[in-house]
């Protein structure tokens, strides 16, 4: 009996490994959330370059216009359609409108690829941050994925084949960005995305076997998520930093043991701006490199796509000694191994 179960499991694993991915994106229709910047922008650019029709959404039109212009400068294949749609992925009414606009503007009743990519940071602490900020982060990072799947699945069911790609994070495996920095909203959402996508594997295999799914777990990717998250949390496109944001940044700096009281508001602003620049420019993996890894993973039929050498290393270490994952020594050892600069 046990041997029979073991043989069955081995056969199932072999079949999974041999499942073919969607090898050719040309002529397909893809939906990409968060297409105005970062990995979303690069996914749009690389999909379009392969002749895939793309419908992207973001909370502001301007960044998507920049994405589209970059695609057009690269001389996209003739007849390839790129459409832009303003939508907050956490809002069901806006996402429903987005879906209906995709059907109308792409002139289709089906899509083949769904990249639930949009996400923001913030709301790290259940204590120090407001409930509104916490839930804003959680709802965009988790509910946006759920609504994307829920609303676009009927269009995928009509396609000959489909692939859902949900962006989690290495923080969906390891809920930390450092022992002195709370990280609850983002990490909780990314754990939810990871678990949901893994559960979808069985659901799709039983009820929609022509649709595959992948969970993407990036490490530190060079994007503007730090700066963009601040703007989205503040509800503005401007670069101005509010008094509330200054107070929160001052409290975060003080929590590390630094003398925040000795810093002026201009000092705090400069530190916030430098932190955003460092996140973008000091990343070991660029957004373009990340998009390539993701699309190659889809083509290879991978259900689990780790992005970046740091993500691979963190995943390995957490799996090896999960009971140590939140010790200060674990973080310091891991940061040294992946080349993260402590205190950066």
pLDDT at 316 over 70: yes
- Name the active-site residue from 146, 186, 196, 326: 186
Q: What is the pLDDT of residue 228?
A: 57
pLDDT digits (tens, 9 = 90+) for 44-65: 999 999 999 999 999 999 999 9
Rg (CA), the chain: 21
Global pTM value: 0.85
Tokens encoding 184: 């609850």
pLDDT digits (tens, 9 = 90+) for 227-278: 555 545 656 555 666 666 666 666 666 656 677 777 787 776 666 666 655 5
What number of residues does the chain have? 344
pLDDT at 194 over 90: yes
Residue spans of the domains in the chain: they are: 21-223+285-338, 238-282
Which listed CATH number (3.40.50.150, 3.40.50.2300, 3.40.50.720, 3.40.50.1370) goes with 21-223+285-338? Answer: 3.40.50.720
Query: CA distances (Å), 82 to each of 4, 21, 35, 170, 260, in order?
Result: 51, 24, 11, 30, 47
Tokens encoding 22: 């969607």
Q: What is the pLDDT of residue 7?
A: 39
Q: Is 186 a catalytic residue?
A: yes
């Amino acid at each position: 009996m046990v041997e029979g179960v073991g043989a069955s499991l081995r056969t199932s694993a072999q079949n999974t490994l041999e499942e073919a991915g969607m090898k050719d994106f040309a002529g397909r229709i893809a939906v990409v959330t968060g297409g105005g910047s970062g990995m979303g922008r690069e996914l749009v650019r690389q999909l379009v370059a392969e002749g895939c029709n793309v419908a992207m959404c973001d909370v502001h039109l301007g960044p998507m216009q920049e994405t589209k212009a970059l695609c057009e400068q690269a001389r996209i294949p003739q007849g390839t359609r790129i459409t832009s749609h303003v939508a907050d992925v956490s809002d069901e009414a806006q996402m429903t409108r987005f879906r209906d606009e995709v059907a109308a503007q792409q002139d289709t009743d089906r899509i083949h690829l769904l990249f639930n990519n949009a996400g923001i940071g913030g709301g790290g602490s259940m204590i120090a941050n407001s409930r509104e900020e916490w839930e804003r982060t959680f709802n965009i990072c988790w509910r946006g994925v759920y609504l994307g799947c829920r609303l676009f699945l009927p269009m995928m069911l009509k396609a000959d084949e489909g692939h859902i790609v949900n962006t989690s994070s290495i923080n969906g495996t390891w809920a930390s960005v450092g022992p002195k920095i709370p990280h609850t909203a983002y990490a909780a959402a990314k754990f939810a995305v990871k678990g949901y996508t893994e559960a979808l594997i069985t659901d799709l295999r039983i009820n929609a076997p022509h649709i595959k799914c992948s969970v993407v777990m990036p490490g530190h990717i060079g994007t503007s998520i730090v700066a963009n998250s601040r703007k989205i949390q503040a509800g503005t496109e401007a670069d101005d930093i509010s008094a509330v944001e200054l107070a929160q940044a001052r409290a975060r700096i003080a929590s590390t043991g630094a003398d925040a009281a000795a810093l002026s508001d201009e000092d705090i602003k400069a530190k916030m701006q430098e932190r955003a620049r460092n996140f973008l420019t000091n990343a070991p993996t660029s957004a373009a490199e990340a998009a390539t890894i993701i699309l190659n993973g889809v083509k290879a039929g991978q259900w689990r796509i780790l992005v970046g050498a740091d993500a691979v290393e963190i995943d390995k270490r957490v799996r090896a000694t999960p009971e140590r994952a939140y010790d200060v020594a674990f973080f310091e050892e891991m940061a040294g191994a992946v080349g993260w600069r402590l205190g950066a």
